[in-house]
Amino acid sequence: MIRYYFFWLHSNTSLFCSKTVLIFSFLIIFGTQKVNSQEKNDSLTKWVIGLQGNINQNSVIDNNFSSLPYSGSYLGAAFSIDYQKKKAIHIFEVNYSKGVLKTRYQDKLTQANLNFEYTNLYKFGALESTSLIKFYGGGNFGYLHAARKYSTFINNNETFESAISLGASVKALFVPQGKLSGFSVSNSFSMPIISAVGQPAFGSELSPGSINSEGSKLKSTIESQKILNISEFFQLKNTLAINKYFKRNNKIALSYSINYYHIKTQREVKQSQHSLGLSYNYLF
Amino acid sequence: MLTIVLTNKNRLFTLTTIFLLLLSGCEKGLNLKSPASDPVAVFDDLWGFMNTHYSMFPIKNVNWQQVYNEYRPQVKKEMSDADLYTLMSSMLYTLKDGHVSLMTNKDTATYIDFYQAHPTNFNYSNVINTYLKNDFKRSGPVIYKVADEIGYMYYPSFTISISESELDVIFNDFKETKGIIVDVRNNTGGQSINADKLISRFISEKKLVKFEVTKKGSGHNEFFDPTPFYASPAGVTYKNKIALLTNRKCFSTCNDFALYMSQLPNVKLIGDQTGGGGGNPNNYILSNGWKLQYSATYTLSPSKENIENGIKPNHKIDITSIDEIQGKDPIIEKAFEALQ
């Protein structure tokens, strides 16, 4: 199986070169089958609080303003709390980033992203499983808010999209032993199934000056809220993390995340965010 | 070489893991790509965006599909940027809208016949030399003067911001006048907030001044219900007679300001009809980086009349070329007469 996997990767150069696949392949090669002591610790009741700094590569196309993508890199921060009890894991995570994006012709916009997510995962298999790889599945509740201000545009206020979603999540956790004892690698994937999306109404970001419009902005936003299914609000979130435990209660993690979404309303918006994060976690 | 023994039970897990890994490897597929930017794609981008976002189709009486049928066959894959720019500008001129522009990093094409095809009706030098006698005050962007119990103020462009304190200075000086002339000729608009600040000096209570109509969807006739807008008094206000001087170059925000003023009982509009431009413009970036400006809303008066074609004056006066040579401004003179 593994040989076949590597043969297949070799014949797909771009995938083989992908950082994700390389990292995982490396760990599979040097890992062993036995479960180490750290994995056993994973089964106990525990709290983990994490702080993360990340650098994000963002691209966005909001068809109401541009047919060209705006792209750029900027910093962000995340805070997470994990609670694990027996086979269940509860994960709360908040992530915020803000920065400037540009078209290739240097038109600018300032964008802020706020993501909140609660994920409830359940471990498949026995609690004290001896498997190398553990699998979890469950659901998640997500909230995202992206706000954009087109600085070179006349008359328009900040535009945004907000979405709350219910979706499915899966996670794989690989805990090697031997030379790589103390490391673990996890991959988490989630996808919303049903979402409520709020955007400004068609063209309603326009600034009419200071004259009182009696709450029209709120009204137009409410009128543009919709419940969307998976084909109308399509989102993929995947996070690959390499974790290193040290000094018993401490963990650092290097993670790579992709967050892509496509809102297929009259206000069509596509956004992709690649994040590279470094986090410190404390285990209680 | 690579030997990891997996149990049958773990095979399924391994396959799933590989799937997740491959998904992580798909990041390139999730990057957003720039759309095509050849002449045909750019033309279609422009026409399509205007088709869904331009707010003035119900007022302009232009068959946009017919415009496409006329211009689209003229677009060739190999045509130069200059030729494409000329062609697309010509297509946009059919809308006869001063808020519609096509901008490259070198050129801007805007419809200007809303004032170019009419008498100028303003000569700044004549106003300064003949009527202000080169003796006036300045507060922010406004020049003003008080003489013989008549005040005069000229606001050249609403693109230049004015503060409340600058307005207080002017209207404190106007306190003892029996009437004032507010000159907004050649003011081609700017930020609405400046017009909002100015109108707040001429009203004594909250007043409905306009309705703004925003697109609700991509159809030519898809609009939200008109949204009412109100102005409220602020700072030192003025209640005596007012003559508002306008010409065809009073456009966009200036057009809105003329609308607000035209509803006040103590105000007479003198000069030429305003140039229109009732509605807020916004921008869109085409796939080759050119920037489009387009009308994204339209404006209605409190009695729900569309003001896209301008506000008519109470007294229509033109300045002839002979008047100009003689240093005269019959529009100001009519205003003096009206304020007596």
Place of tokens 């149990």: B7
CB-nearest partner of A69 from B18, B24, B32:
B32
pTM value?
Answer: 0.83
CB-nearest partner of B24 from A20, A132, A203:
A20
Which is it for strands A250-263 and A269-283: parallel, antiparallel or unpaired? antiparallel
- Given a cut of 60, whether residue A33 has pLDDT beyond it is no
- The rounded distance, in Å, linking the Cα atoms of B214 and B217 is 9
Q: Which residues of B75-97 are buried (b: 16+ CB within 10 A; e: fewer)?
A: beeebeeeebbebbbebbbbbbb
Q: Which two tokens stand for residue B230?
A: 């109100």
Distance from CA of B337 to the nearest CA of A (A): 33
Q: What is the pLDDT of residues B257-268, one digit of tens each?
A: 999 999 999 999
Tell me the percentage of chain B whose pLDDT exceeds 70. 91
Amino acid letter for position B237: T
Question: For residues B243 and B268, is the Cβ–Cβ distance under 8 A?
Answer: yes
Q: What pLDDT sits at residue B34?
A: 85
Q: Which two tokens stand for residue A9?
A: 């990767």
- Given a cut of 80, whether residue A218 has pLDDT beyond it is no
Region A203-230: mean pLDDT is: 58
Q: Is B189 helix (H, G, I), strand (E, B) or coil?
A: coil
CA B229, chain centre distance (Å): 17
Question: How many Cβ atoms are within 10 Å of B35's Cβ, its own excluded?
Answer: 17
Question: For residues B203 and B273, is the Cβ–Cβ distance under 8 A?
Answer: no
- Given a cut of 60, whether residue B1 has pLDDT beyond it is no
Please give the full DSSP string across B223-237, using - where no structure is assigned. BPPPEEEEE---SS-
**Chain B contact present for A272, CB below 8 A:** yes
Region A218-228: mean pLDDT is: 62
Which is it for strands B179-183 and B227-231: parallel, antiparallel or unpaired? unpaired
Which residues on B lie below 8 Å from A262 (Cβ)?
Answer: none
Rg (Cα) of chain B, in Å, rounded?
Answer: 27
Q: From residue A230, how far is each of A165, A194, B30, B159 by CA, in Å? A: 10, 6, 17, 45
Q: Which two tokens stand for residue B314?
A: 């109470």
- The rounded distance, in Å, linking the Cα atoms of B259 and B309 is 12
Question: For residues B231 and B259, is the Cβ–Cβ distance under 8 A?
Answer: no
Q: Which two tokens stand for residue B241?
A: 């007679």
Tell me the backbone φ, ψ of residue B252, rounded to 5 degrees. Answer: 65, -115
Reported in sequence order, the residue ranges of A25-132 that DSSP labels E, i.e. its strands, are: 46-62, 70-85, 88-102, 108-123
Q: Which two tokens stand for residue B309?
A: 């074609």
Crossing angle (nearest 10°) for helices A2-10 and A19-30 = 150
Question: For residues B122 and B140, is the Cβ–Cβ distance under 8 A?
Answer: no
Place of tokens 């003229």: B74
B 245-274 residues inside an 8 A Cβ radius of A = 253
Q: What is the pLDDT of residues B266-320, one digit of tens each?
A: 999 999 999 999 888 889 999 999 999 999 999 999 999 999 999 999 999 999 9
Identify the helix (H) or strand (E) that includes residue A269: strand A269-283
Amino acid letter for position B198: L
- The rounded distance, in Å, linking the Cα atoms of B64 and B44 is 13
The number of residues in chain B equals 340
Region A22-33: mean pLDDT is: 44
Q: Which two tokens stand for residue B294?
A: 């387009």
CB-nearest partner of B53 from A203, A211, A274:
A203
Q: Which two tokens stand for residue A179?
A: 């030379």
ipTM over 0.90: no
Q: What pLDDT sits at residue B29?
A: 63
- The rounded distance, in Å, linking the Cα atoms of B284 and A79 is 36
Contact A206 B214 (CB under 8 A): yes
- Please name which of B203, B171, B202, B179 lies closest in space to residue B338, comparing C-alpha atoms: B179
- The rounded distance, in Å, linking the Cα atoms of A168 and A24 is 23
Place of tokens 């609403």: B158
Tell me the percentage of chain B whose pLDDT exceeds 90. 82
Region A241-250: mean pLDDT is: 88
Which residues on A lie below 8 Å from B20 (Cβ)?
Answer: 170, 172, 187, 189, 238
Question: How many Cβ atoms are within 10 Å of B49's Cβ, its own excluded?
Answer: 21
Nearest-Cα residue of chain B relative to residue A240: B24
- Please name which of B316, B310, B312 lies closest in space to residue B97, comparing C-alpha atoms: B310
Q: Please report which confidence band the pLDDT of residue A2 belongs to, taking 50, 70 and 90 as the band edges.
A: very low
Question: For residues A153 and A203, is the Cβ–Cβ distance under 8 A?
Answer: no
**Chain A contact present for B55, CB below 8 A:** yes
Which residues on A lie below 8 Å from B195 (Cβ)?
Answer: 209
Residue B78 DSSP one-character state: T
Q: Which residues are within 8 A (CB) of B51 and not within 5 positions of it... i.e. 6 or more apart? A: B64, B218, B220
Q: How high does pLDDT run on average in chain A?
A: 80
Of A178-187, A254-263, B124-133, the poorest mean pLDDT is in A178-187
B 91-110 residues inside an 8 A Cβ radius of A = 105
Q: What pLDDT sits at residue B2?
A: 36
Of A152-156, A280-284, B71-75, the poorest mean pLDDT is in A152-156
Question: For residues B180 and B174, is the Cβ–Cβ distance under 8 A?
Answer: yes
Which residues on B lie below 8 Å from A15 (Cβ)?
Answer: 22, 25
Q: How high does pLDDT run on average in chain B?
A: 91
Which residues on B lie below 8 Å from A204 (Cβ)?
Answer: 214, 224
Contact A154 B293 (CB under 8 A): yes
The number of helix segments (H) and strand segments (E) in chain A equals 5, 11
Residue B204 DSSP one-character state: S
Sign of CA dihedral B232, B236, B242, B246: negative
Of A144-158, B190-204, B215-229, the poorest mean pLDDT is in A144-158
Q: Which two tokens stand for residue A238?
A: 């995947």
Amino acid letter for position A183: F
Of residues A4 and A253, more confidently modeled: A253
Mutate to test the interface with B, among A3, A68, A275 (most CBs of B within 10 A): A68
Q: What is the pLDDT of residues B38-90, one digit of tens each?
A: 999 999 999 999 999 999 999 999 999 999 999 999 999 999 999 999 999 99
Question: How many Cβ atoms are within 10 Å of A6's Cβ, its own excluded?
Answer: 16
- The rounded distance, in Å, linking the Cα atoms of B98 and B107 is 16
Question: For residues B75 and B41, is the Cβ–Cβ distance under 8 A?
Answer: no
Q: Which residues of A116-129 are buried (b: 16+ CB within 10 A; e: fewer)?
A: ebebebebeeeeeb
Distance from CA of A32 to the nearest CA of B (A): 7
- The rounded distance, in Å, linking the Cα atoms of B284 and A172 is 43
Distance from CA of B214 to the nearest CA of A (A): 6
- The rounded distance, in Å, linking the Cα atoms of A71 and A178 is 42
Contact B193 A187 (CB under 8 A): no
What is the dihedral angle through the alpha carbons of B234, A149, A267, B278, rounded to the nearest 10 degrees? 40
Region B161-174: mean pLDDT is: 97
Question: For residues B206 and B146, is the Cβ–Cβ distance under 8 A?
Answer: no
**Chain B contact present for A158, CB below 8 A:** no
